[in-house]
Amino acid sequence: MPLDPAQRHQIEQDAITAAWEADRLAACDGAIALLREIADLDRDDDGDVIIGTDADGYNDPMPRIATFLATYDR
């Protein structure tokens, strides 16, 4: 039995909402992983996390944070 237009529209809206929620959950998981890594970084005398470069000029967290924000900032 074919669906009426209202039922079809509701199913489409539910699918869009489910996809959006899955994307948001993935973003939250990614943010939590980054925050856990940041929490493990060195801290200065005031207790602030130091996010900077190492002696060789390498900085792992910042490019990953920038990539994360570029992906999920909508």
Task: Give residue-wise pLDDT tens across range 23-70.
Answer: 888 888 888 888 887 777 777 788 777 776 666 767 677 777 888 888
What is residue 54's predicted lDDT score, i.e. its pLDDT?
Answer: 66
Handedness of CA 43, 46, 48, 54 (dihedral sign): negative
* Residue spans of beta strands (DSSP E) within the chain: none
The amino acid sitting at 48 is D
For the chain, give me the number of helices (H) and strands (E)? 2, 0
The amino acid sitting at 60 is D
Distances (CA, A) of 22 to 8, 32, 73: 21, 15, 15
What is residue 55's predicted lDDT score, i.e. its pLDDT?
Answer: 67
Residue 74 has pLDDT above 80, yes or no: no
